Structure 1
Amino acid sequence: MVTITTRNIVFFMIILKSLIIQSLSKPFIEHKNVINFHKNINHQKLYNNINHQKLYNNINNIHVEKLWIRMLENKKKIRKRSFSKKRNHIVYTNIDFKDLKFRLNILNQKSQIKILNYNSLVHASIESYLRMSNYIEKIISLSYFYFPMFEEKLKKFHLPKELKYLAIIESNLNPFATSKVGAQGIWQFMPETGKIYDLNIIHNVYDDRNDPVKSTEAACRYLKFLYKKIGNWELVLAAYNAGPGTVDKILQRYQNNKKDFWSLLEFFPKETQNYIPKFIAINYVMNYYKEHNIASIYHKYKYKYKDTVLIPIKEKISLKILSFYINIPYKDLIFLNPQYLVDYIPFDNGKFFIRLPKNKIILLKKKNIFLLRKKES
């Protein structure tokens, strides 16, 4: 009797152990399948398959956007620990209207567009930006890379250099920014307008609107066209936001011969009503952030625009493979080349170029890959 009972207990223990092992193994097996799925996404066979290519493109688009968002995160965390130890670090989010008038007047005297004037809407917009000190710090960091290039292009087209601040309002200097209505890139071009200014799109593969250099040239040409047509910088900015057709209709309907934005304010869409105050506000904040105790907690980006060059590619190439060959972080390669929506760059008789740091050209020559000749940027 004792022997039978012992056998039953042993048998029961074996069954219980088997069930426990099975329950523990199942999540691991499922997790393993998920990992393998993501490995397969990069497989060349899947890339060549039309159905899988859409999935591949979507995953890469999400990955690229996350890379841009996280690009400076590690630097932020490192600096933030030491930054938080500083005593009495208080961002001054309020400013007396007399002081603000005085500072705006100084900016306006230096300005070529002469629209940096004070009013209550501008005051409110400035204090709103000052309350977003973390956002301003990131913009300052990105501006070290983008603003020299913006200023170079604006000078080429004989445009006021303070127009560079429009890109902050449009996209927060994010080349991957996409609006609800389909505007894309740092300067937020719609597909139709982009096409007029030679910004080409290859669906799910390539988008010139994301290219900071090409889109900046297009924005300069567009702003020059608007100013020639309208002749008033406040209304030019309003037209950039709402479209020239909207400005034309308002001017014709209300017969405003002075072309005064502020007297027509109530007739513009709500977003456009806030657009010019925001433009003046970001001009102020980017020039006076130190006076409000805002300082960039990010390092300046390690590459400078003037230290990069365009290289034509001579065969289809993966950015991941290229980053390995020339020893450059993948996220840096994407930051310099946001126009490519997928990892693989197509080849079309030297039509496509890649922007690289000049100090990486030697590695390209040594390895004799992906190099035809330099192109001036």
Structure 2
Amino acid sequence: MATITIRNIMFFMLILKSLILQSISKPFLFLHKDIYDQKKDVDNIYTEKLWKKMLVGKKKSSHGKKLYHKRNILITNIDTEELKARFSFLNTKSRMKVFKYNSIVHASVESYLRMGEYIGKIISFANFYFPMFEEKLETHRLPKELKYLAIVESNLNPIATSKAGAKGIWQFMPETGKIYNLNINDIYDERNDPVKSTEAACRYLKFLYKKIGNWELVLAAYNAGPGTVYKILQNNQNRKDFWELWEFFPKETQNYVPKFIAINYVMNYYKEHNIPVQRSSPYKYKYKETILIPIKEKISLKFFSYSLNMSYQDLILLNPQYLVDIIPPGNKFFLRLPKRKVLFFQKTQKIGNHGQRDPILKNIPQHP
């Protein structure tokens, strides 16, 4: 009898353990800022869950070992002299001239090299975002290498949110975002808008360089805030050398500049290290294949995606700034859509409405 009782208890504990493991293994469901307000529209866009699924893969333990990918060996280390030579070459092409070798930067480079799967995903995202970044940077006459700063900031996740409250690809705090005309309300957060936040980031970086005049210190100011940099400079006779002042910066900023240098290196030399590129990008459209349209009537993004004959996932990937599904009418609301989907929608609406164009798209040219 005692034996049977013990077996029953052990069986019960086994089932309980299984249920606990199953519950904690399920991903949490994030509802943007609406997680704090349950009274809002129940049809919130679950983009946080979507990005979590795309960005978080299975963790692999490398600890300095070489990782294998089918035919090629992932090269996770690099000789000092080889790295110095490659830095020298990058500096010849760069306006920033920040590629300086030291042991901290070397360690940061090899840290990124051990993240082969992560880098492969980032490259697939970069194929969508970088043409737009480069266009904005060129317009503001800024170094093109600054496009890699968005990887350090957010992993190119347009809805990334930090513990401090910074949001978007370029991680703007609410106060700084407002200075650069990034509006925030219950319908949308323009810090999550890749195009508008990139424009704001370019203006902010341009302002910082005009005030500081040193790209390493500009990067430090972008991370720690200009006030921190100004204070350090004042306390050190305005010596504008980041590495001489390195010990005075917060720990996060001490690692921030090396990470920027390292991701520049990896994105330029990933092929030499046999890092495989993830071919299946979540973005089915190129940035230049999209167009911005005004919303003239109240719409549901879910139903609108159905009308466009495109997936809801594709629609919200192009419009991560929206926090809710129901978008009210008004001249201030816009949607980014694939150009060919706009043409498709126009044609179907003409057939259904006897030649009258849908009011949502009535101001859009026939051939954008």
Structure 2 residue identity aligned to 1:221: R
TM-score (norm 2): 0.81
Q: 1:200 to 1:225 in 2, by over 3 A?
A: same
**Shift in Å, 1:285:** 0.2
**Shift in Å, 1:116:** 1.1
**Shift in Å, 1:254:** 1.7
Counterpart position of 1:271: 252
Structure 1 residue identity aligned to 2:304: L
Q: 1:145 to 1:248 in 2, by over 3 A?
A: same
Contact 2:182 2:189 in 1 (8 A): yes
**Shift in Å, 1:55:** 6.7
Tell me how far apart the structure 2 counterparts of residues 261 and 355 of structure 1 sit (CA, whole Å): 40
Counterpart position of 2:72: 89
Tell me how far apart the structure 2 counterparts of residues 168 and 85 of structure 1 sit (CA, whole Å): 24
Tell me how far apart the structure 1 counterparts of residues 144 and 200 of structure 2 sit (CA, whole Å): 15
**Shift in Å, 1:361:** 1.4
Tell me how far apart the structure 2 counterparts of residues 339 and 330 of structure 1 sit (CA, whole Å): 15
Contact 2:123 2:278 in 1 (8 A): no
**1:227 maps to which of 209, 215, 235:** 209
Tell me how far apart the structure 2 counterparts of residues 374 and 212 of structure 1 sit (CA, whole Å): 22
**Shift in Å, 1:87:** 4.2
Counterpart position of 1:46: none
Structure 2 residue identity aligned to 1:191: P
**1:361 maps to which of 342, 347, 357:** 342
Counterpart position of 1:241: 223
Contact 1:68 1:331 in 2 (8 A): no
**1:333 maps to which of 315, 340, 349:** 315
**Shift in Å, 1:152:** 0.1
**1:132 maps to which of 108, 111, 115:** 115
Q: How does 1:167-206 map to 2 (within 5 A)?
A: 167-203=150-186, 205-206=187-188
Counterpart position of 1:373: 363
Q: 1:86 to 1:194 in 2, by over 3 A?
A: closer
**2:135 maps to which of 152, 155, 173:** 152
Counterpart position of 1:109: 92
Can you list the C-alpha shifts for 1:60-84, whole angstroms capped at 9, x where unaligned?
35x221123335899xxxxxxxxx9
Corresponding residue SS for 2:235: helix
Can you list the C-alpha shifts for 1:11-34, whole angstroms capped at 9, x where unaligned?
xxxxxxxxxxxxxxxxxxxxxxxx
Q: 1:195 to 1:96 in 2, by over 3 A?
A: same
How much is the aligned-residue C-alpha RMSD, in angstroms? 2.3
Tell me how far apart the structure 2 counterparts of residues 86 and 225 of structure 1 sit (CA, whole Å): 44
From the two aligned structures, give the one with the greater helix fraction.
1
Q: Is the radius of gyration larger for structure 1 or structure 2? A: 1
Instruction: Report whether the alignment pairs 1:345 with 2:327.
Output: yes
Counterpart position of 2:19: none
**Shift in Å, 1:309:** 0.3
Tell me how far apart the structure 2 counterparts of residues 56 and 262 of structure 1 sit (CA, whole Å): 51
Q: 1:325 to 1:91 in 2, by over 3 A?
A: same
Contact 2:157 2:168 in 1 (8 A): yes
**Shift in Å, 1:358:** 0.4
Corresponding residue SS for 2:181: coil
Q: 1:114 to 1:86 in 2, by over 3 A?
A: closer
**Shift in Å, 1:117:** 1.5
Matched length: 313
TM-score (norm 1): 0.79
Tell me how far apart the structure 1 counterparts of residues 54 and 105 of structure 2 sit (CA, whole Å): 32
> Which 4+ stretches in 1 moved above 6 angstroms?
none
Counterpart position of 1:288: 269
Counterpart position of 2:39: 53
Tell me how far apart the structure 2 counterparts of residues 55 and 333 of structure 1 sit (CA, whole Å): 18
Corresponding residue SS for 2:81: helix
Q: Report the identity percentage.
A: 68
Q: 1:131 to 1:73 in 2, by over 3 A?
A: closer
Corresponding residue SS for 2:244: helix
Tell me how far apart the structure 2 counterparts of residues 72 and 178 of structure 1 sit (CA, whole Å): 14
Q: 1:71 to 1:115 in 2, by over 3 A?
A: closer
Tell me how far apart the structure 2 counterparts of residues 191 and 289 of structure 1 sit (CA, whole Å): 35
Q: 1:224 to 1:326 in 2, by over 3 A?
A: same
Tell me how far apart the structure 1 counterparts of residues 158 and 55 of structure 2 sit (CA, whole Å): 15
Structure 2 residue identity aligned to 1:269: P
Tell me how far apart the structure 1 counterparts of residues 244 and 293 of structure 2 sit (CA, whole Å): 50
Instruction: Report whether the alignment pairs 1:65 with 2:51.
Output: no
Q: Is there any run of 5+ residues in structure 1 with no aligned partner, and where?
A: 1-50, 75-83
**1:297 maps to which of 278, 290, 295:** 278
